[in-house]
Structure 1
């Protein structure tokens, strides 16, 4: 049966993606991704609903039953409605009569029920609290003291109130991609302004945040720099975004920074929409570009995957409406909401010191509403908002969720990625900023090192791998992934060619990982960033040194293996009564030696019947530390006196031995095996 994609159906019906999702919800169809498809019967049911609404009918005319919708996958059964809590509250333990009345049952029935459970209690008797709780629970009630009820109300009220205040907000979209693939030109085309020509060399030199309005709905775009020197800000941009638009030029295809951008988006856990740009150029090859994207795990919809790929020409403004539709569709499926009331919270995406205005921070508000006059804490600095400017430089009095604004009035320049929070007073702002400074000085490193791995602080090693050639990258990656074990995981979050740069450090920091280089250098900016972020960078000239270091660290954090070493054996040939141990065994050492204080195991008829410590070992009347093979001795132990003639006593020691091998992960068996 023919299936149809959601956004194609929305376009056919002339409705928005959000409206289509509403109709599907009415039909009970659960949509899990922007690339979901529905069958023709379900599509026809949607068409009928749309037609009914357009005719202004409140009820559908009688007709054949509407076919049951069939989404991509079998819809899960409807979730049961949460039962309302039945709570009984008392200021003190209740009497039998009070509890019966509260539960709506006859007092005599409760007296009889208590009697059957072994409790004799008349109607006037006060029940112990735990008994009353148990009886109430058996009847489906929760028994609480009045003060507990108030505590529960106070705890649940803020959550319920916050959920009630959540409203849909514009999506924040980060535009990522390789240098000169057309990111700023794309935003320029969407905004109908001309920013690209104002940038040095046509390459964006600082993060810009912009708002656009499409059919009455707003989208906030973050334009990240494409130049290598500014890739560190890209990771910070991805942390505040709801989804990523990855711009790939159809003539160049997937390039090193394209792979970096994909890994940054994955590390941030955000959906990716691909804009295949420059399709009007003679050398453009969309098929090759899609194949390269598939190699990076972004399988296009056209090939059965879930990645939306939209061919565009930013210069000619071709297919931009389709790209914007896809952004809004994904945003609708994400159900992006925030609470616009209360103190503001947000994230700094860029900061600078303006010669006339002082410290200025570009902030994306994520919660609440930021207002002129608010006292704010931003990282380890603070200030009072003297002015708010929108993306066009126009003054505004306030900014709600997803709105980008420039904040003027801070004491110092904050760092990109710092959190902004509005507070009630200057004193509170100053105290929180001072505390943040102290915490930043004492904060544990964001990354992970081989030393912390060996100390057992981590159970997964996340690596950014750099090498001098693509062949070396693949060799290092393959060798590292072969170290992946059942006890400790290894995940290569990014692998690329070239020296270690600041972007590599920022990605490792965001992922709590480390950077390893094979046959490459480390640029100065990366070293400074690593010191600031606490990220470990290790470089090697020989791949085996890299593997040996990491394997040694992984082995060092494994729990030692406990092995047994048999010291000797003896046969019980006689039994003696003693004062302290009741029974002692007269033994003949058949092999090795028996050692006092070591472990022994008593064997009878081929089965081990007891294990413990050899407490007493004697030769004739003398206490000795050990007895060698071929000699007789007396053996006694604490807690065991059931020796029998013919028992074998095994003396052994347990030792912890450092692991020398990792337990490799087993490949999954094929289905049906």
Structure 2
């Protein structure tokens, strides 16, 4: 018996996919997504239901027309009799309606009244798997031809016109750019296309791209590219995806996988169809009349024009002359260009525009808001600067509570990790151990694992997902360590596998920062002071209790008064440097202080880590 895909049937019956899924739910038919297939007998049953709905709808409309008209007449008559003094002239009614349409504080009655917007798509994947080639093919076949003599300007995004409507592609392939935007609290993409070469399958950057998309909680569509090659093997790619717990629909999962060829165009229409279907199910909407908000995709300095910023409009509408605020800077829009390089005067939701008007280059991922005038823009900047200073001050004074460290005690905690090791065998061994350490209260999420030193991309992912980077037998380059320090990301390196596992245990307990307490070691009495030309004064002492250790904390008391607190920088027995001296032995004590006198008591202690129950 033949099967039909749900979205194909919906298209044939001229139904929205959402309505088709409602019918399936009513029939109790199980499915993964609109691209799932259904049996032929179910198809016939759906056709019968749709036909009956069509007949009922036509009859209902005919019956409803007269009563509706009657009710309207009756309502008008009632208003005329009961409240003649409240009747409005046509001019007054028009003025009242106009006032309501232009008020800023009036929100739509429901989400259904907000219009749909175009989906914004980013394309990621391993180098040389065809990300740019796929974008180029879509641009050439789906972007309207420009007028002769037009100048195309790169604005970091472009709009493709399809049979299902507009789709916006971010023309900056790479998960680093994608995560840089997310690192600043913005999420510009609605759908992530992961491109995988059919002759190469999963590669390190493929896994990274998938991890970044999952961290962003963005729906993924897999495009298996290079299907025109004789060695193409789509089945291997699908099987390899299951190893990452990504199960294609053909294997009973919910992952959409589309075979394509950026060279011949094979499957590209199907890919665009799936993007539109996904967008329809996500029910993407934005109010063009609402408060403006947007995100900076990229910024640059043009030798002729000056500072140019590419902004993706997310809500509201931009107009030439508007004042925009980005971070603690502002600018006035002098000119706007669309993705084809043409001058435009306004731009609504899901529209990428290049803006001329900023004095400083904004950073990718920064959120953009609007202000009524320059005075309001300056006030907003001053407020943000004040908030930032207050936050920085509060962070210094703030003390972590147990709930801050461990999260709400009644919920399941997740420890996010990025794992880097010297060999694949090490990676698999560590993952095997970690899998056995999960409990009902704490889950371990290895977001990304790979061979070799951690990269800047790992740090960006860790910063946005609040993950710790664990390295086994590999070390991070200085440049990566510096970025990690700036972003507050922990990179921890180990040579012994069980030390790495101990670190994971500590993270699972929520004790991210070790707790130390001072432990008493011993004391000694100064019996003579020796002046040394190189080391300063050395206190010849006798250990009366416990032991003294080199580099321990030292406190010197004279009678009841503490005269010095510092470090015990050196210990000598006879002429030899030693690490420790026990009770009953004489020694020479070198402090980073030359004020010791005969009769002083030197007390030694050290800071030790304690476990928090």
Q: TM-score, normalised by structure 1?
A: 0.60
Contact 1:462 1:511 (C-alpha < 8 Å) held by counterparts: yes
Contact 1:35 1:307 (C-alpha < 8 Å) held by counterparts: no
Which of 201, 224, 227 is matched with 1:279 structurally?
Answer: 227
* Distance change in 2, residues 1:34/1:489 (3 Å): same
Shift of 1:365: 1.2
Shift of 1:349: 2.0
* Distance change in 2, residues 1:277/1:158 (3 Å): same
Q: Distance in 2 between matches of 1:255 and 1:297?
A: 16
Correspondence for 2:405: 457
Contact 1:456 1:557 (C-alpha < 8 Å) held by counterparts: no
Q: Distance in 1 between matches of 2:106 and 2:438?
A: 44
Please show how residues 142-541 of structure 1 align to structure 2 within 5 Å: 161=109, 163=111, 165-192=113-140, 208-215=156-163, 217-226=165-174, 233=180, 239-437=187-385, 439=387, 456-459=404-407, 460-541=414-495
502-511 or 162-171, which moves further after superposition?
162-171
Deviations 1:552-598 (A, max 9, x none): 3544749xxxxxxxxxxxxxxxxxxxxxxxxxxxxxxxxxxxxxxxx
Contact 1:463 1:515 (C-alpha < 8 Å) held by counterparts: yes
Contact 1:173 1:221 (C-alpha < 8 Å) held by counterparts: yes
Deviations 1:403-426 (A, max 9, x none): 111122123222211111112122
Please show how residues 537-548 of structure 1 align to structure 2 within 5 Å: 537-548=491-502
515-524 or 19-28, which moves further after superposition?
19-28
SS of residue paired to 1:241 = coil
Which of 529, 534, 550 is matched with 2:504 structurally?
Answer: 550
Q: Is 1:19 the counterpart of 2:16 in the alignment? A: yes
Deviations 1:97-142 (A, max 9, x none): xxxxxxxxxxxxxxxxxxxxxxxxxxxxxxxxxxxxxxxxxxxxxx
Correspondence for 2:557: none
Q: Distance in 2 between matches of 1:541 and 1:37?
A: 51
Correspondence for 1:100: none
* Distance change in 2, residues 1:431/1:482 (3 Å): farther
Shift of 1:193: 6.8
* Distance change in 2, residues 1:55/1:229 (3 Å): closer
Contact 2:159 2:166 (C-alpha < 8 Å) held by counterparts: yes
SS of residue paired to 1:405 = strand
* Distance change in 2, residues 1:20/1:485 (3 Å): closer
Q: Distance in 2 between matches of 1:512 and 1:322?
A: 36
Instruction: Give the length in aligned residue pairs.
Output: 447
Q: Distance in 2 between matches of 1:309 and 1:240?
A: 23
Q: Distance in 2 between matches of 1:231 and 1:524?
A: 24
Deviations 1:412-447 (A, max 9, x none): 2222111111121222222333444555577679xx
Q: Distance in 2 between matches of 1:452 and 1:545?
A: 26
Correspondence for 2:570: none
Contact 1:348 1:419 (C-alpha < 8 Å) held by counterparts: yes
* Distance change in 2, residues 1:231/1:28 (3 Å): closer
Contact 2:118 2:165 (C-alpha < 8 Å) held by counterparts: yes
Structure 2 gap segments, 5+ residues each? 61-104, 144-153, 394-398, 408-413, 513-609
Q: Distance in 1 between matches of 2:485 and 2:258?
A: 40
SS of residue paired to 2:370 = strand
Contact 1:455 1:557 (C-alpha < 8 Å) held by counterparts: no
Q: Distance in 1 between matches of 2:377 and 2:336?
A: 19
Correspondence for 2:9: 9
SS of residue paired to 2:58 = coil
Contact 2:32 2:249 (C-alpha < 8 Å) held by counterparts: no
Correspondence for 1:115: none
Shift of 1:194: 12
Q: Distance in 1 between matches of 2:401 and 2:3?
A: 50
Q: Distance in 2 between matches of 1:483 and 1:54?
A: 58
Contact 1:243 1:271 (C-alpha < 8 Å) held by counterparts: yes
Contact 1:207 1:233 (C-alpha < 8 Å) held by counterparts: no
* Distance change in 2, residues 1:337/1:456 (3 Å): closer
Q: Distance in 2 between matches of 1:470 and 1:213?
A: 44
SS of residue paired to 2:475 = coil
Q: Distance in 2 between matches of 1:444 and 1:515?
A: 25
Shift of 1:299: 1.0
327-336 or 206-215, which moves further after superposition?
206-215
Q: Distance in 1 between matches of 2:23 and 2:257?
A: 29
Shift of 1:290: 0.8
Two-structure CA RMSD over aligned residues (Å): 3.6
Q: Distance in 2 between matches of 1:402 and 1:416?
A: 17
SS of residue paired to 1:265 = helix
Deviations 1:516-536 (A, max 9, x none): 222223245533432443222
Contact 1:162 1:339 (C-alpha < 8 Å) held by counterparts: no
Contact 1:225 1:234 (C-alpha < 8 Å) held by counterparts: no
